[in-house]
Amino acid sequence: MKLKTKQSVVGWTFIIPFLIVVLCMLFIPLAYAYYLSSHQNTLVGGNKFVWFSNYKTVFTDPLFLEGLKRVALFGLIQIPLMLGIALIAALVLDTVNSKMAKVFRLIAFLPYAVPAVVGALMWGFLDSNTFGPFGKILLHLGFKSVDLFAPSAFIYTIGNIVTWAWTGYNMIVIYSALRGLPRDAYESALIDGASQVQIARYIKIPAIKNALILTFIFCVIGTMQIYTEPSILSRYTQAVSLGYTPNIYAYSLAFSQSQFNYSAAVSFALALVVFIASYGFFAYNRRRESQS
């Protein structure tokens, strides 16, 4: 009994600093965001508690929905594409061990070290027809030069930057998971004459399912929050509207329109959507796993 009490005291002592940070930097802001968004300043009634009516406004606000739809659609295409490339690259790195593979493993990971602002700046220069090489190369080859900042093309420009920045990171996560697998599992498969593709398909990929789910969830969380790239590059293009992404909308609500409460409501709504999507996906996979 005494030992148990001591265990609790020591255990709590070690976790208290972390919990204080969580309380102050996570729970209180979330509660405050909810509090703000559930109150409405009216001329007649003063500060009034309105439950969820602000959320009804948020989720029917065409500007919020426009941004949400855009990032969702963007993620639907970009995430599988990027993770597909990352997975194939990781599988190749796990089998091939040439010098080139080592160089590739390092270089592909480097963009992760580049701040998103700098990444956006660099690609902004490269993609612009004033500074960049692509327009000139296309002209030289006899094509019409393309404006990568035209409203219709801009989303692809963003897609390229995000893919450049995150493919290597995800590749390394997946590669690390592959390296952690026991090697003898596919030794016997090899001896039985299985091809590398079959081994990847039937042994390796199922074995690293958890790592794949994790990378997928992190990609979803990151994509829904996208702000930096379109915001930095908005100088080059007409494409970035007020509600281009939910975070751009939240920022401009607060700092160009001084609608702080509504901005907090938009933030909270975004957090809710992201949380439900990622946690739901996670729980779904866990349940499926425990059933099978």
Partner 1 sequence: MTLLETNENQSNVQDNRRKSGYLNPKSKFADVVMFFGVIYFMIPLVWIVVASTKTKNDLFQTFSLGFGHSNSFFTNIAATFRQDNGAFGHWLFNTLFYAVTAAFLSTVTATMAGYSLAHFKYRGSRLVESLILGMVMVPGTALVMPLYLLFAKIHLVNTIWSVILPSVLNPFGAFLMRVYITNSVPEEMLQAARIDRASEFKIFFRIVLPILKPALLTVFLFSLVASWNNYFLPLVMLSSEKLYPLAVGLNTWFGQASQYTADQTLYNCVIDGALIAIVPLIISFIFLQKYWRGGLTAGAVK
Whole-Å CA distances, 199 to 81, 82, 272: 22, 22, 39
CA dihedral 128, 133, 134, 139 (to 10 degrees): 110
Token code pair at residue 99: 């010098």
| Residue 263 CB partners (closer than 8 Å, separation 6+) | 250, 251, 253, 254
DSSP one-letter code for 241: -
Q: Which is nearer to partner 1, 52 or 275 (CB)?
A: 275
Q: How near is the Cβ of 196 to partner 1 at its closest, in Å? A: 6
Please state the closest distance from residue 244 (CB atom) to partner 1, in A.
Answer: 15
Nearest approach, Cβ of residue 148 and partner 1 (Å): 14
Query: In sequence order, which residues have a C-beta less than 8 Å from that of residue 225 and are 6 or more positions away?
Result: 246, 247, 270, 274
Phi first, then psi, for residue 235 (nearest 5°) are: -70, -25
Task: Between 69 and 136, name the residue whose CB sits nearer to partner 1.
Answer: 136
Nearer to partner 1 (CB atom), residue 12 or residue 49: 12
Residue 152, C-beta contacts closer than 8 angstroms, at least 6 positions apart: none
Please identify, using beta-carbon distances, which residue of 49 and 260 lies nearer to partner 1.
260
To partner 1, the closest distance from the beta carbon of 206 in angstroms equals 15
Beta carbon nearer to partner 1, 98 or 152: 98
* Shortest reach from residue 228's CB to partner 1, in Å: 5
| Amino acid making up residue 277 | A
φ/ψ of residue 3, rounded to 5? -60, -40
Q: Nearest approach, Cβ of 221 to partner 1 (angstroms)?
A: 6
Residue with Cβ nearer partner 1 (77 or 190): 190
